[in-house]
Amino acid sequence: MSALELLLQQLINAVSIGSLYALMAIGLAMVFGILRLINFAHGDLIMVGSYVALLLQVLGLPFPVAAVAGVAASTLAGLAMERVAYRPLRGAHEIAMLLTSFSVTIFLENLAIILFRPTSRPFPAPAVLRSVITMGQLRVAGLDLIAIAVTAVLLAALTLFVRRTNIGIAMRAASQDLLAARLMGINVNRVIATAFAIGSFLAGVVGLLWSARVGKVDPLMGFNPVLKAFVASVIGGLGSLPGAVLGAYVLGGLEILLQGLLPSGLTPYRDALVFAILIALLLLRPNGILGSTEKEKI
């Protein structure tokens, strides 16, 4: 394989994993921007959607139907989460909200363990998702291309939504200043619910792509993706949507780079390095690459 092909191959890997991180990170960033809530339980929405999709496939429904139902289930779960756990905490300290999101995680994961057993189950995916396209020496998984395409479409749609629709503009206003937005007559509860719905919808999509990628689902499957999405949104600046997307692709690139460059004895430590970089970034640019460097006002 020539150097160029190798580069291209790795680039596709980086962009495809970065796309999944981006879809996750947007959900985190949207909610954090408005509520200052780091929603740890966001990862479990991946799990909810994947299990519903799996369940329906086992029951004999075709993949597209199961997929739509899975994404819908994620969205509903996200809305329910907001209504039950986070709405009573409006205005609470950010640590209290973070801890609540931990409880939600523990709740959902243990519920899944009770309902579906703790062991992983194979996730059947249609042939299209399992196909591999060969171009010369290049082997590209169909799933990677689909992930990239789906992300591109969703990002474009989201950009339009945030810029053009009333609720999208209200959402941006709320993330700039929640109180001022409320004083301008914006229905904050509706805006927050919308943010949760969009984020959970995206998490549902990630769930399908992720499960098809690793070929199995398990109750704790949301843990790693949400940690990575955290890192991505911190790189880009917590709360900023373009930042979250940028951070996700930077993280994807970084991971593939480390995977390729680290000596084989050290590759298992890759995630440790990723988190060390996260800590370093928090110190050097706590507001991320795209965040403002403005000091806190007194």
Partner 1 sequence: MQPESPRGGSPSLPSRLAGPAVSLALLAIILAIASFFAGDYLQRILIIIGINTILVVSLNLSNGFTGVFSLGHVGFMAIGAYTAAVLTLPVSLKVVNLPSLPHWLQQLALPFLPATLIAGLLAMLVAFLVGLSLMRLKGAYISVATLGFLVIVQVILVNWDQVTRGARTFAGVPPHSTLWNVWIWAVVAVYIVWRLGASAFGRDMRAARDNEVAALSLGISVLRSRLLAFCLSAFLTGVAGSLWAHFITSFSPKSFYFTQAFNIITMLVIGGLGSVSGSVIGVFFITVLSELLRNAERGFDLGVFRLPPIYGASQILMAVLFVLVIVFRPAGLLGGREIDVRAILRRLGAPRRGKGAA
User: Cα 12 vs. chain centroid, distance in angstroms?
Assistant: 19
Regarding 103 and contact with partner 1 (CB under 8 A), the answer is yes
d(CA 120, CA 129): 20
Tell me which residue of 122, 112, 125 sits closest to 223, measured CA to CA: 112
Binding segment toward partner 1, per CB under 8 A, in 91-99, 131-139, 189-197, 246-254: 91-99
Q: Which residues have CB under 8 Å from 70's CB, separation 6+?
A: 49, 50, 51, 52, 53, 54, 56, 204, 207, 208
Regarding 269 and contact with partner 1 (CB under 8 A), the answer is yes
Regarding 160 and contact with partner 1 (CB under 8 A), the answer is no
Nearer to partner 1, 113 or 140 (CB): 113
Both tokens of 112, joined, read 């899944």
Residue from 3, 4, 59, 95 touching partner 1 (CB under 8 A): that is 95
Task: State in angstroms the smallest separation of the CB of 12 from partner 1.
Answer: 26
Residue from 8, 227, 258, 289 touching partner 1 (CB under 8 A): that is 227
User: Cα 255 vs. chain centroid, distance in angstroms?
Assistant: 16
Regarding 85 and contact with partner 1 (CB under 8 A), the answer is yes
Facing residues of 121 across strands?
217
Neighbours of 241 (CB within 10 A): 24
Residue corresponding to tokens 């209504």? 83
Tell me which residue of 64, 85, 38, 43 sits closest to 217, measured CA to CA: 43
Nearer to partner 1, 110 or 165 (CB): 110
d(CA 283, CA 278): 9
Nearer to partner 1, 109 or 144 (CB): 109
Half-sphere exposure for 30 (CA within 13 Å, toward CB): 29
Site string (114-153) toward partner 1, x via CB under 8 A: x---------------------------------------
Residue from 68, 79, 113, 148 touching partner 1 (CB under 8 A): that is 113
Task: State in angstroms the smallest separation of the CB of 241 from partner 1.
Answer: 19
> Which residues of the shown chain bind partner 1 in the complex (CB under 8 A)?
36, 38, 85, 88-89, 92-96, 98-100, 102-104, 106-107, 110-111, 113-114, 223, 227, 230-231, 234, 268-269, 271-272, 275-276, 278-280, 282-283, 286, 298
